[in-house]
Amino acid sequence: MGESTFDQPNGSAVAETRPNAVIAMLVSPTRMTQALMALKNVEDRFNRRLKYPYVLLTEAEISPELQDKISWATEGRATVANLPAEMWDVPEWLDRRKIQESLDIIGYSLGYRSMCRFYSGFFWKHPALSKYDWIWRLDTDIEFHCDIPYDPVQIMIDENKLYGFVQITGDAIGVQPTLAPNASTFLRGASHLLPADANLGFIWRDVPKALQGEAGNNDWTIRTMYDNFEISHRSVWESPIYQAFFDYLDNQGGFFYERWSDAPIHSFGLAMTLRKDQVIQFTDTGYQHQGWGYECPDLARCACVKDSASEGFRDNADWWFEAP
The residues carrying an active-site annotation are 230
* Angle in degrees, CA 246, 57, 294, rounded to 5: 80
* Residue among 87, 80, 84, 76 at smallest CA distance from 24: 80
CA distance 264 to 139: 17
CB 215 within 8 Å of CB 206: yes
CA distance 215 to 221: 11
CB 134 within 8 Å of CB 128: no
- Phi, psi angle pair for 293, to nearest 5°: -60, 145
